[in-house]
Structure 1
């Protein structure tokens, strides 16, 4: 029924090509879009991920795939009537958009959480320090290093979580001391500290080492900070299709004309005006491996932000370090607009009681 992958055209839909891989029946092109949809990223695989990840993270999932299924229909391609695609009812356009936003939210909340990235960096450093001192057994009885384990499946199978346990218990092996100390830090939750998250331009992920070198080369460093004392990571978050709106590749149909496919541009007024205009972002995560270097690292980063060509334009005009940081929750305010006083911890009865007739002061005399 399906011979292989098809070429995706600029419009986002499958186009007829001379490629030898083609669908056996053109009217069944929609079968490509059920499990793994390369056209608009809407498939049951993604729905399963959203439901599973939301459940295990304890985050309510606002996207309801059961409802969307009730408003799903196979439509003919707008250009080629012999082709078919999976379409959705026009009133569910906002629900489809919510699906992509849920994916973005879960990635930012869990997959690219600062602690997650910091842990990955520490594991990578631990394995890099041990790469020359751990040998794996091949199928013929000889040994091979970790990087060369991909050449032998018997050795490759040994690269599981047990290798971290092996490093942790290698107390008598001085060659693995550095790796062991990094993993012991992880057990104590002494993780690399994320000190900055900065929006950057496209292509910055290919120059992470260069960025790290530029940061420590600032005049604020004075030789206290080395490039190896920092860890930088550029992450890319999007709605599934880079900088493009995924809804532009989705077909819709109306109640009055269920067999007439519509594009998103024809019903854009039915989607909330709060729909995003930008569908991707890149964030530069900067970590300091030793917390005692944090203040020096922050000063170096602030200098680098002002002159780096990789920093997003809106951030490059920032005048203070606070403008560079990601938005945070504002301090609570009262109904009068004044800041609320800090809450007082309640102890056992009588511990926090005020003397009789005393007045509680919310602000200092200078205020």
Structure 2
């Protein structure tokens, strides 16, 4: 564990300058990062279905992309969940408070005694689609991917997508 405390950015230089074939994949990843050959987020939307799996997302989008040539590594996707570490539970339910009158007795406060601006939802989910920016000149395919995603989302959720942004 002590060796970990000495780890710094020099490890990046060691990987880049090393000719070991075992480090070739790491070397390529670092080169892509330094040359800004990154994945481009083409669209993102909120997801109401928190049980959605990435393989269902992939199958659903590719269902609407039949006949469109897309390489395996061109389209990337992820389902991101944001929460407070307790999933969809209110963190104030675990907090106890003390009063001046009873310093040794912790009490639980009712929600209306804490604040009126507390959120009602403690976990949200987003779906993000990325395209490989190494492949320039595929704007038409990216637009078709976004449209396929919108169709899939409309079918899956029954709502028109509210895209947080789109690269159109």
CA contact (8 A) 2:64 2:148 kept: yes
1:214 — aligned with what?
Answer: 60
Of 92, 100, 117, which aligns to 1:274? 117
Runs of 4+ aligned residues of structure 1 deviating over 6 Å after TM superposition are none
Distance 1:239 1:216, change over 3 A: same
Of 97, 115, 122, which aligns to 1:252? 97
Instruction: Please give the secondary structure, in 2, of the residue aligned with 1:278.
Output: coil
Q: How far apart are residue 161 of structure 1 and its match?
A: 4.1
Post-superposition Cα deviations, 1:158-178, rounded to whole Å, max 9, x if no partner, equal: xx64674157x68xx8xx59x
1:294 — aligned with what?
Answer: 142
Question: Equivalent residues in 2 for 1:211-360 (5 A)?
Answer: 211-219=57-65, 222-265=67-110, 268-289=111-132, 290=135, 292=138, 293-308=141-156, 316-318=158-160, 323-325=162-164
Q: How far apart are residue 215 of structure 1 and its match?
A: 0.9
2:8 — aligned with what?
Answer: none
Counterpart CA distance in 1 for 2:80 and 2:144 is 24
Post-superposition Cα deviations, 1:62-100, rounded to whole Å, max 9, x if no partner, equal: xxxxxxxxxxxxxxxxxxxxxxxxxxxxxxxxxxxxxxx
Instruction: Please give the secondary structure, in 1, of the residue aligned with 2:73.
Output: helix
Counterpart CA distance in 2 for 1:162 and 1:209 is 36
2:32 — aligned with what?
Answer: 185
Counterpart CA distance in 2 for 1:306 and 1:238 is 25
Question: Equivalent residues in 2 for 1:38-77 (5 A)?
Answer: none
CA contact (8 A) 2:45 2:164 kept: yes
Post-superposition Cα deviations, 1:191-239, rounded to whole Å, max 9, x if no partner, equal: 10011222232232xx3134223212205x5323244321112222111
Instruction: Please give the secondary structure, in 1, of the residue aligned with 2:97.
Output: strand
* Aligned alpha-carbon RMSD (Å): 2.9
CA contact (8 A) 2:46 2:127 kept: yes
CA contact (8 A) 2:42 2:146 kept: yes
CA contact (8 A) 1:288 1:297 kept: no
Structure 2, unmatched stretches of 5+, are 1-10
Counterpart CA distance in 1 for 2:64 and 2:104 is 63
Distance 1:162 1:187, change over 3 A: closer
The alignment's TM-score, normalised by the length of structure 2, stands at 0.70
Q: What number of residue pairs does the alignment pair up?
A: 146
Determine which structure has greater relative contact order: mean sequence separation of CA pairs < 8 Å that are 6+ residues apart, divided by chain length: 2
Counterpart CA distance in 2 for 1:166 and 1:209 is 37
Judging by fraction of residues, say which structure has more strand: 2
Counterpart CA distance in 2 for 1:184 and 1:296 is 30
Question: Greater Rg, structure 1 or structure 2?
Answer: 1
Instruction: Please give the secondary structure, in 2, of the residue aligned with 1:252.
Output: coil
Counterpart CA distance in 1 for 2:89 and 2:96 is 16
Instruction: Please give the secondary structure, in 2, of the residue aligned with 1:255.
Output: coil
Instruction: Please give the secondary structure, in 1, of the residue aligned with 2:153.
Output: helix
CA contact (8 A) 1:216 1:225 kept: no
